[in-house]
Amino acid sequence: MTVYQTLYTEKIEQEIQKTPDEYLPMLLEMVRLFRQSVALKPADESFRQGWKEALKGETLPISELWTNLDSAE
């Protein structure tokens, strides 16, 4: 484990220690949902989802995809 990982692991552990026991099940669920939301889906699954959206007409013009892109910087 790197120093960076160790630092954040320790900070997370400290926060867990400060959390009342009755909230631990909800905290665990939040962590699981977070992990699932940031994990990349397999390419074939992502393609299938995109294809379904395209067939339903759930698309945007390319010009809109670039709108406000620079504002994130």
CA distances in angstroms from 53 to 27, 29, 38, 45, listed in the order given:
33, 29, 20, 12
Amino acid at 15: E
- Indicate the pTM of the whole model: 0.52
Dihedral in degrees, nearest 10, Cα atoms 38, 43, 48, 49: 20
- What is the pLDDT at residue 4? 81
Which of the residues in the chain have pLDDT under 50? Answer: 72
Over the stretch 42-59, which tens digit does the pLDDT of each residue have?
A: 889 889 999 999 999 999
Helices (H), the chain: 3-18, 24-38, 43-55, 62-65
The pLDDT value given to residue 71: 60
| Residue spans per domain, the chain | 1-37
